[in-house]
Structure 1
């Protein structure tokens, strides 16, 4: 079904069954599969491929040569229909690839709202991304990665499968992210080392200096204390019940995960 207000270039291919919303623009040489849903005001600029059981949220713009909704690249992919859901007002630049999920792990790759994916970034099967995230050029997310709201990943960084990147974390360019990155953490290098807090990002997000100082004190207690990271985090919980960012970090550390936590020392050479 194609809405009457949609603008479709004559060279575009739209398979039977696709749902095309109001005021959608589909440019030259695009290919839209029969299981695709494009919400109102979506723009496919040119040479864009959207296939699989994929839905794209209102106002999202997709630039040339992006391939959205391709099958999982997992060797265990069973070829059963799985899904990719993309939220509203995302910008997906040239050459970006996003895969559908795998049936073995719930069958869904999900992307939130207002995200920016720069050229040739890759979102693999079963990833779960929040909103207001930036993936810079050539960022590579392996399968099952979780990226929480407002995180920023620098160009060429690579994230190991099943790894979590916490809310408003910052990952430097060319970093290898092998372990979970706490909310508000800053990680750099290969191997990636936790190098402090994303204080600039916290300030830009409206956290006042008093809150930032509390988070800094908590960070020091967690990673410089005499016990393990998890023991240190548990020990300070009652001291920070009124500080939401610290509690978010503590909850992240306490949650179950398939990966260990990044730290200032884990993976450090010498």
Structure 2
């Protein structure tokens, strides 16, 4: 397994020289997850999923980023440590620059927190325009495949700390789950029909959207198996993908001589 945090610079250089040039960056968040679950849930799933899958793939696993764009969780509940969107954009684009300097030419961002999506997409745009030879992908842990997405949305469209997330932590990180709090944790989705995107303090009584009381470790094991299988397939494809066309980002058609006047 190629885990960058445990590798020396010589080992990184050797891996790259052997063609291991796809890197995976798990990205999570530190935020409230209701009365029944620890604040590190999003980072835990991103880290555990990527670490498990990286064992079977020729990829370099980068250290997990444990902070994300969690502004929507408000100051109502203690424990959230959020980055501004522009900060997350800068962090990811800076890390991407350094990954390229180490020889990485494929970077897969594996995001474990829903509202990281917009700043991560912005960072993707910046990096692929800045580095002509870098291919970069954004994968959300809850949307790796249709079956994974359906499982996450089973009990709420605007889900959070719900059946799926609680089940995953029961199976993978039971130390993050307070079983004695499950019965009081359920809170319905109140966003149906809303035009505006409301912060969680105006949609949930306790920071939860969904029904964690219905979760079980068996449910989590099944869902995690799907997530691993589907992410593994994606990473194998990513490690072999080439751009449909080899045209340079930095030179116009006229400069390349591809078009006659």
Q: TM-score over 0.5 for the alignment? A: no
- After TM superposition, the score normalised by the length of structure 2 is 0.27
- After TM superposition, the score normalised by the length of structure 1 is 0.26
Higher relative CO (Cα under 8 Å, sequence separation at least 6) belongs to: 2
Larger strand share, 1 or 2: 1
Larger helix share, 1 or 2: 2
